[in-house]
Amino acid sequence: MIRYFLALITFISMSSSAASIDSVVLIHSCQEYVAIYDRRGKKSLMASVSTSVAEAMRAGICRGMLEEHTRHERYNCDNQWYQQALFIAKQDIEQSQYTREQLLDKACDS
């Protein structure tokens, strides 16, 4: 599982395709990330067995975006990745008025 996250993070950092990840993709990716992890933000015991490569890649988009955002912002984000992902995953795609960057900022501040 971790190797899929690392591969995706490397791919995103090397590719300009990260620019095409909008708020809708980010919300879907974070929903996938939250689904893989339990309520405490720890890896579910069966997650590595029951998670497909495609699900892991989608979840990796969320984790990679959160990591990169935190690393490139001038302030330190107090929330852990799971808490940030949970905030983003709870957003209503139909009603969301935030850009990708705004979602990442608000998740860090929530």
Tokens found for residue 45: 């015991």
**Entry pTM:** 0.72
Residue 16 in this model has a pLDDT that exceeds 50: no
Single-letter code of the amino acid located at 4? Y
The pLDDT score that the predictor gives to residue 20 is 81
State the pLDDT at residue 87: 94
Identify the residue whose tokens are 């933000």. Answer: 41
Going from N- to C-terminal start, the domains of the chain cover 2-109
- 5: its two tokens: 């996250």
